[in-house]
Every structure is written in structure tokens, then in C-alpha cells.
Amino acid sequence: MNWQRWIPAAWRRSPSPPPDEPENLRRGRMGETAAKAHLQAAGLKFITANFRDPRAGRGEIDLIFRDADCLQYFHLQ
């Protein structure tokens, strides 16, 4: 599968990461950006990203979208 056809050309040329940013964090940020754009193109309304509930302790929800009257949430790995 050619994954590059799903990602706009501008995103494939991402700016250089800070010198101390680990590769896994850079790739995660790029993936989250691509997933957000794909879901918006599919017609979902973006609500928030990287949501953390202080009452729940650890963990986060990466992306939250609204589809009509239903909330959709995504935990990317």
C-alpha cells in the first residue's frame, strides 16, 4: 500500500524537529496530524486533541470528533 497518497504533500515535508525531540514523538505528531486531516475530510467535526481527564489519572484520548449527535474518540498507537 502506498501510504503517501493518503497524506498531502505539504505534510510529508514536515519542518525539522527540535534537536532533542525523540524520533518516536516526531512520528507520533505527524501521524496524529494526518489522522486529524483524514477524519475532517470524512466529514467529522474536530472537538479537541490530547484530552486528559485529571480524575482518570493516567492516559489520554488523542482525538475527539463529533459526527452528528455522536462523539467519536480515537486513541492512536
- Work out the pLDDT band at 3, boundaries 50, 70, 90: low
Residue 38 confidence (pLDDT): 93
C-alpha cell at 33: 496530524
Kindly report, residue by residue over 16-35, the tens digit of the pLDDT. Answer: 656 788 888 888 888 899 99
The residue type found at 59 is: G
Query: What is the average pLDDT across 28-44?
Result: 91
Kindly report, residue by residue over 57-77, the tens digit of the pLDDT. Answer: 778 888 999 998 888 888 776
The residue type found at 51 is: F
Residue 74 confidence (pLDDT): 80
